Amino acid sequence: MKLNANIPSGPLVEKWTRHKHEVRLVSPANKRKYDIIVVGTGLAGASAAASLAELGYNVKSFCVQDSPRRAHSVAAQGGINAAKNYRNDGDNVYRLFYDTLKGGDFRAREANVYRLAEVSVNVIDQAVAQGVPFAREYSGYLATRSFGGAQVSRTFYARGQTGQQLLLGAYQALSHQISLGTVKMFPRQEMLELIIVNGHAKGIVVRDLISGKISSVMADAVVLASGGYTNVFCLCTSGGASNVTAAWRAHRKGALFANPCFTQIHPTCIPVSGDYQSKLTLMSESLRNDGRVWVPKNAKDKRPPQDIPDGERDYYLERIYPTYGNLVPRDIASRAAKRVCDEGRGVGVTGLGVYLDFRDAIARFGEKVVKERYGNLFEMYREITAEDAYKTPMRIYPAIHYAMGGLWVDYNLMSNLPGLFVVGEANFADHGANRLGASALMQGLSDGYFILPYTIGDYLARNGVKRPSADAAEAKQAEQETAQRLNKLLSIHGKRTPVEFHKQLGKILWENCGMARQEAGLKTAIQQIAALRDEFWQNVIVPGSHQDLNMALERAGRVADFLELGELICLDALTRAESCGCHFRTEFQTPEGECLRNDADYAYVAAWEFGGVGKPSQLHKEPLVYEEAHMAQRSYK
Amino acid sequence: MKVTVRVWRQKNPQSLGGFVEYEVKDVSPATSFLEMLDVLNEQLIKQSKEPVHFDSDCREGICGMCSCMINGEAHGPENKVTTCQTYMRSFKDGDVITVEPFRAKAFPLVKDLVVDRSAFDRIIQAGGFISVTAGSAPEANTVPLSKYHSDLAMDAAACIGCGACVAACKNASANLFVAAKVAHLNLLPQGAPEKDPRVLAMVEAMTKEGFGACSVSGSCEAVCPKGIVTSFISRMNHDFLTAALKLRVHSARV
Ligand SMILES: Cc1cc2nc3c(=O)[nH]c(=O)nc-3n(C[C@H](O)[C@H](O)[C@H](O)COP(=O)(O)OP(=O)(O)OC[C@H]3O[C@@H](n4cnc5c(N)ncnc54)[C@H](O)[C@@H]3O)c2cc1C
Ligand code: FES
């Protein structure tokens, strides 16, 4: 298979403009003849569905929650980047492009990242017009703040609820289209299979989660906006229903899965406290604007934090990275936290935690200002830990947070399967080996509002209306396979619950493919996961039937797919014998303990082809050729 | 600690529901209320019994999916928190905790603690949006907006659409939910052109869905996990009356 990224020719800064001019258009009168399926209603899916419907296409939109407004994008706290340069601090499209590429440790596709920076400004315009109440200055103009990995202030925010507000904007645009009849909305419906006819993606099999009914939905193109797969780790910052099933089913049908081992660890989460825990809660990166990270200098110092004088505190980020200080990128902040904890200087009962301290910010600006900026985050922290962060520093520790990897797409956001488009966190495209804070919201909305509407038209114009009926043999077969799988899960009657398997898988991955990875550990993990998967199919217990709301069955199906993905994550990490961004192989580090990249051998996108369960996946490489940027050694010192 | 939960179990809307008691042992006070139910469900699954169905997703108080009446209070005993942010430290060892679904005519029951809140989506579809299409927006800083109004709009926009306000109201009124969206959009210059039709359509949709009239008791504000205040309802009533009067004058003119 030859991978073609379809990057337009011409200078980097002109590529997208030229491409928009060159893509084929579907005439207004013909658009309503096309049906498009959009799976997912997060920022990427809701914005795509609304925009496609505005253009005149018939859209069918699906989500697993009871309302499109509850997609996990709702949980994003800190903000969204855009190269507006409202602060007059030297920001511009090129700088945002370069920061993002460098933040990703030069493992993203150059042309995509430039386009992302370019459209970022339109996203803010669109959101404000929709009524998103971004924070404002007393002048009435938009406020911004700083995020990790940047020396300019380009992050727009709505208190600590930026994702919620942006999602409501997109959800309301979607609701408008639903009222006009251009979008048909199907909540509480889970995509369980992709339908391929003559090599093109032409439909999906869905299960109505309330009635249990399994049916096929056909269309002229399928868009997956099903979010990231970090839930494979079980304990992470994503929502309970976040899954890889939609993407994994497409992968099993031939769509390539790119860079699965690029999973981001967020440095500021509330530490794990017990076995019963169902998720980890993020404390927004924005807190690092004013909070200072430290641990005691002396490992034996067990005094309460307030009693430790400044001279006996190690503000290690400020010490090691004086230029960026507390605002180094996430991968760097996470590894630094791990290092001080490994040295025995971690805080809290488990020793797996560092302080994030607002004492100095409160002294400088007063409690009122700090409350205004982060009030809801302090509240959340209090609810969960019963501690008051205005008085005592927060305790934080890194946790799994975001998937840079995902289904492989070309410049048009189309996978290698014609007619299958992938947007938002579900694709692999823009963040390389590490995503900068506030860039996922920017990407999801750019994909949905301003990129996909152009590129999907090109595919449709070239292929015409070719929508098979739901009675097609391919659809019937996919439905049958789905029903068989569900019946199988229900008929094992084993001894262990789906959650127990999920937790065990997460543990294997966190220990061997988390913040630090190495060859022997990865090899063991691959074996352990294969064994766990075998056990799952013989020993899982799922009560109830599939003709009814059955949350245990939903979980079992998702865990089954995670058990296959987990192995691929480890294989990808094993194959990439270098360190880059989030992917830290202990064998490959600089004397200072930073990532040691190997551009000569690994400057490529690893795109994996499914080979069968338990059989080897095949690696395809898309070389990363940079026309403008230079792959430099990252430094935040 | 050890608690007894009395949970509402009902297989589907047609079947008869009732309370079933379960004992959950070894609960740490740091466990969240839903994690305690997770522990119970793990026990049930291991006995080949169907787990207690309840809705949740984000488990950090922002998606609005979780929705339990705990000891008769929407989202439980603590102020300004959702069910998922309720922790067992709010209960005592040996407590008997009653758990029911959010009940309202406009929220039909699906199974156990799960209800259908799609009526809220249909109210938003009636007018809870600004009809701007992608591509037509002006530069974001073209229209300045006072920080006061922007902050007030954000206070209203913080609604998570959980439906606690409806569940707590003796009339099962959706006034607080609708008022929050009307205020969010009507307060902004971008929302001004559709101000009148918006409020008229949303109020009409609310009535059509079978929500009751405002009980003026303030119980909605008391349970709202996001601290949405009833003064937004007065604002909505004002917008509604103005719009209705304008409509009369307009139709008289034609
Ligand atoms: C706690 C948290 C805080 C964050 N903060 C920030 C931030 O401040 N700034 C930033 O830029 N990024 C942030 N991120 C990242 C960002 O929020 C996400 O990457 C982004 O919102 C993902 O959007 P999405 O549309 O791709 O997917 P999602 O919002 O996850 O939506 C996925 C959709 O797909 C549907 N779906 C999934 N599987 C199926 C299926 N099988 N069948 C049918 N439907 C399905 C779901 O129902 C849902 O509607 C944060 C993430 C988290 C978890
Ligand atoms: S589960 Fe999201 S608010 Fe409770």
pLDDT value for A273: 84
Nearest CA residue ID for atom 12, ligand 1: A440
Closest ligand by atom to A223 CA: 1
Tell me whether B38 touches chain A (CB under 8 Å): yes
Cβ atoms of residues A43 and A438 within 8 Å: no
Q: Which of B65, B67, B80, B81 to mutate to test the pocket of ligand 2 (most atoms within 8 A of CB)?
A: B65
Does residue A73 line the site of ligand 1, with CB under 6 A?
Answer: yes
Q: Per the structure block, which two tokens stand in for B111?
A: 């199974």
Q: What does the pLDDT average to over A244-248? A: 98
Same structural domain for residues A371 and A485?
A: no
CATH number at residue A324: 3.90.700.10
What domains can you pick out in chain B, each with its CATH number?
3-111 (3.10.20.30), 118-253 (1.10.1060.10)
How many domains, in total, are found in chain A? 2
- Please name the residue ranges forming H helices in A464-518: 473-491, 498-513
Query: What's the CA gap between A303 and A301, in Å, rounded?
Result: 6
CA distance A53 to A449: 11
* Pair A500, A396 in one domain: no
Q: What is the pLDDT of residue A173?
A: 98
pLDDT exceeds 80 at position A252? yes
Please give the full DSSP string across B12-46, using - where no structure is assigned.
STTSPPEEEEEEE-S--TTSBHHHHHHHHHHHHHH
pLDDT at B254: 61
Is A145 inside any structural domain? no
Q: How far is B208 from chain A (nearest CA, A)?
A: 15
Edge-to-edge order in the sheet of strand B73-74: B18-24, B3-9, B96-101, B68-70, B73-74
Indicate whether A394 and A477 sit together in one domain.
Answer: no
**At a CB cut-off of 8 Å and minimum separation 6, what does B207 contact?**
none
The answer to the question of residue A480 being in a domain is yes
pLDDT of A274 higher than 90:
no
Residue A205 phi, psi (nearest 5): -100, 130
Average pLDDT along chain B: 97
Alpha helix segments (H runs only) across A159-252: 162-180, 245-252
Q: Which helix (H) or strand (E) holds B143?
A: none
Q: Do A383 and B118 touch (CB under 8 A)?
A: no
Residues above pLDDT 90, as percent of chain A? 93
Backbone Cα Rg of chain A: 24
Decide the pairing of beta strands A604-609 and A618-623.
antiparallel
Catalytic residues of A, which ones?
Answer: 330
Residue A275 is predicted with a pLDDT of 84
The answer to whether residues A505 and A380 belong to one domain is no
Pair A609, A501 in one domain: yes
- Residues 127-186, chain A, touching B (beta carbon < 8 A): 127-131, 133-142, 158-159, 161, 164-165, 168, 171-173, 175-176, 178-179, 185
Taking residues A530-542, report their average pLDDT: 98
Does the C-beta of A438 come closer than 6 Å to ligand 1?
A: yes
The answer to whether residue B39 scores a pLDDT higher than 80 is yes
The pLDDT score that the predictor gives to residue A633 is: 86
Are A388 and A508 in a shared domain? no
Distance, CA of B107 to chain centre? 11
Name the average pLDDT for chain A. Answer: 96
Protein residue whose Cα sits closest to atom 5 of ligand 1: A76
Report field, pTM of the whole predicted structure over 0.90: yes
Nearest beta carbon to residue A131 from set B59, B130, B144: B130
Contact A71, A227 (CB under 8 A): yes
**CA–CA separation, A508 and B102 (whole Å):** 39
pLDDT tens digits along B112-157: 999 999 999 999 999 999 999 999 999 999 999 999 999 999 999 9
Domain extent for A308? 265-400
The Cα A427–Cα A262 span in angstroms is 12
CA distance A95 to A369: 30
Whether residue B252 is predicted with pLDDT greater than 80 in this model: the reply is no
Same domain, A477 and A396: no
Residues A487 and A606 in one domain: yes
Residue A272 within a domain: yes
Instruction: Please list every residue in chain A whose beta carbon sits closer than 8 Å to the beta carbon of residue B160.
Output: 74, 164
Strand partners, A39: A62, A224
Residue nearest to atom 52 of ligand 1 (CA): A76
Q: Are residues A391 and A486 in the same domain?
A: no
Report pLDDT for A456.
98
Looking at A343, A371, A400, which one is the last position of a domain?
A400
Residue A2: per-residue pLDDT? 84
Please name which ligand lies nearest the alpha carbon of B65: 2
Q: Pick the ligand that lies closest to the CA of residue A445.
A: 1
CB < 8 Å to B53, chain A: 549, 551
The yes-or-no verdict on residue A109 having pLDDT over 90 is yes
State whether A279 and A395 are in the same domain.
yes
Strand partners, A197: A200
Measure Cα distances from A381 to A352, A386, A423, A617 in Å. Answer: 17, 7, 32, 42
What residues does ligand 2 touch, defined as CB less than 6 Å away?
B 56-59, 61-66, 82-84
- The pLDDT tens digits for A334-362 are 999 999 999 999 999 889 999 999 999 99
Using the mean position of ligand 1's atoms as its centre, give its distance from the Cα of residue A625 in Å.
Answer: 29
User: Which of A374, A400, A426 lies at the terminal end of a domain, its last residue?
Assistant: A400
pLDDT of res. A1: 83
Give residue-wise pLDDT tens across range A432-469: 999 999 999 999 999 999 999 999 999 999 999 999 99
Distance CA A519, CA A95 (A): 36
Please check whether residue A564 lies inside any domain of the structure. Answer: yes
Distance CA A599, CA B123 (A): 54
Q: Give the DSSP H/E element, type plus range, for residue B232.
A: helix B231-253
Mapped onto helix, strand or coil, the DSSP state of residue B220 is helix
Per-residue pLDDT, averaged over B59-84, amounts to: 97
Is the shortest distance between the CB of A416 and ligand 1 below 6 Å?
no
Tokens of B26: 């070894």
Contact A311, A382 (CB under 8 A): no
Pair A358, A496 in one domain: no
Structure tokens at A290: 């004013």
Integer Cα distance of A629 and A13 in angstroms = 12
Asked if residue A164 is part of any domain, the answer here is no
- Cα-Cα-Cα-Cα dihedral sign, residues A229, A233, A239, A241: positive
Distance CA A125, CA B142 (A): 9
Average pLDDT of the residues in A352-375: 94
Would you tell me how many other CB atoms lie within 10 Å of the CB of residue B171?
16
Of A400, A422, A446, the residue at which a domain comes to its end is A400
Residue A267 has pLDDT above 70, yes or no: yes
Asked whether residue A255 carries a pLDDT value surpassing 70, the answer given is yes
The dihedrals phi and psi of A110, each to the nearest 5 degrees, come to -55, -50
By CA distance, what is A130's nearest residue in B? B130
Residues A484 and A614 in one domain: yes
- With CB atoms and an 8 Å threshold, state whether A175 touches B128: yes
The CATH number of the domain holding residue A618 is 1.20.58.100
Per-residue pLDDT of A607-630, as tens digits, reads 999 999 999 999 999 999 999 999
Residue found under tokens 């258009």: A25
Reference A180, options A54, A62, A67; nearest CA is A54
Phi-psi region of A281 (alpha: psi -120 to 50; beta: other; left: phi over 0): beta
Instruction: For residue A569, tell me if it sits in a domain.
Output: yes
Q: Closest partner residue to A126 among B42, B124, B134, by Cβ?
A: B134
d(CA A267, CA B58): 19
Q: Does any domain span residue A360?
A: yes
Report the residue from B35, B61, B153 with minimal CB separation from A278.
B35
What is the C-alpha to C-alpha distance for residues B51 and A550, in angstroms, rounded to an integer? 9
Asked whether residue A406 is domain-assigned, the answer is no
* The two three-digit tokens of residue A117, written as one number: 């920076």
The 10s digit of each residue's pLDDT in A25-84 is 999 999 999 999 999 999 999 999 999 999 999 999 999 999 999 999 999 998 999 999
